[in-house]
Structures are given as structure tokens and as C-alpha cells.
Amino acid sequence: MIQVQAFTFNPFGENTYLLFDETKECVVVDPGCHNYEERKILKDFIEAQQLKVVHLLNTHAHIDHVLGNEFIKRTYNVKLHLHQKDLPLLNNAASRAEYYGFPNYEGSTVDVFIEEGDKITFGNSTLDILFVPGHAPGHVAFVNVEQNICISGDVLFKSSIGRTDFPLCSYEDLQKSIRTKLYTLPAEVVVYPGHGITTTIGFERKHNPFIKL
């Protein structure tokens, strides 16, 4: 069974996730850890749980979600997975880091481009990839329907949705992604968002004031 451990990092309150199972193999999703203290928290948990990090995954490449990419790559010798359409955002991350006041940002490079339909495997577990653009052009979600898990990044939040006022965003694409990809998941699926608390697909279909069925 997959266990999901969340950490809230950096001034944007970004949620970084570790997913692991009984084999102790682990994936890191959207490492927002930007300083020594936050990186130590993440590293200490991994060591205490005796986890083996095997993949680094980005739902998208906005600066608050990629601040710890290079740290994870260097520390655990793993490959970064990202959708190709978000490469412009990753390549622009250094300028965003300077703008938002992260002076020690280390740039990272993509090792594996992922697409909808691809699968991420670790231990005895598998994550399916959904392409859910709108908040970012190459945004993806990582899903295991059997275990009611959806790592949604910044697409869907409890009673809210991702912003679409940044460059390369599209409200029309975001609305379509939520209606046709996320809202079609079973009601019991738990949404682990990029910011804030968890919710469920069923709750959002009924109560989200921005996009309803």
C-alpha cells in the first residue's frame, strides 16, 4: 500500500510529497524545500523511515515546486521527470527565483519527459499520469485509482482551483482538465494538492464554487 507523507515548505506554503510502500522505495513529488532547514527535515524523514528514493517527479515547474529539484537529484542520484511542455517554465526558474527572493536557487535539468499514459513504478506500486494543463502548459497529475490517490499539483484545491493569471496559463484548459480528467475519477479519490489541505473528488464535484459538473 502507498503511504503519502506531506511537507509544507517555502514562503508559498507549497506541499512536497513523499510516496512510498512496504518495499521502502520512494518517489519525491515537487520538492519545494529551499533552505538547509527544510532540506534537513525532508532528508531526516527519509533516513528515519529507511526509504530509498528512486524517482523525482514534478507536476509542473513553477518556482515554488522546483526549488529542491537539484538537491534531490544530487543527494539521491535520481532522474527528474517532467512534461516537455513545462520545460520553458523550468528553464525560466532562475529568473523567477531571483524575482521572488530565493538567492541560492540551483537550476536543474530534465532527465525523463513524461506523457499521459506513462506509468511511474516504485516498489510494488504504480502511478498513472494524467495530462491536466491550464495552470501550467505541461501540468500533470499522478494517480493511483485503486488506492484513491491523486497528487494534483496546482490544478484543484479544496473549494478552489489553480491560478490562471500567470504566463502560459489558460482558464479554458484548466476548466477542461478538471471536468474531463479529475472529475471523472471516483468520488472516493483523495486529492493531495500543491497547497492547502486534502479534499476528495466527490466533495469538489458537489461543492467547488469555481467548477461544478
- Predicted confidence (pLDDT) per residue in 21-56, tens digit: 999 999 999 999 999 999 999 999 999 999 999 999
Per-residue pLDDT of the chain (213 residues; tens, 9 = 90+): 999 999 999 999 999 999 999 999 999 999 999 999 999 999 999 999 999 999 999 999 999 999 999 999 999 999 999 999 999 999 999 999 999 999 889 999 999 999 999 999 999 999 999 999 999 999 999 999 999 999 999 999 999 999 999 999 999 999 999 999 999 999 999 999 999 999 999 999 999 999 987
Q: Dig out the grid coordinates for 39 from the structure.
A: 532540506
pTM over 0.85: yes
Predicted local distance difference test score (pLDDT) of residue 212: 82
First to last CA, the chain: 31
DSSP 8-state code for residue 84? G
| Whole-number Å distance between alpha carbons of 182 and 195 | 17
In CATH, which superfamily holds the domain spanning 3-207? Ribonuclease Z/Hydroxyacylglutathione hydrolase-like (3.60.15.10)
Q: Which residues have C-beta within 8 Å of that of residue 55, sequence separation ≥ 6? A: 27, 28, 78, 79, 81, 120, 122
Q: Give the bridge partners for 5, in sequence order.
A: 18
The domains of the chain are located at 3-207
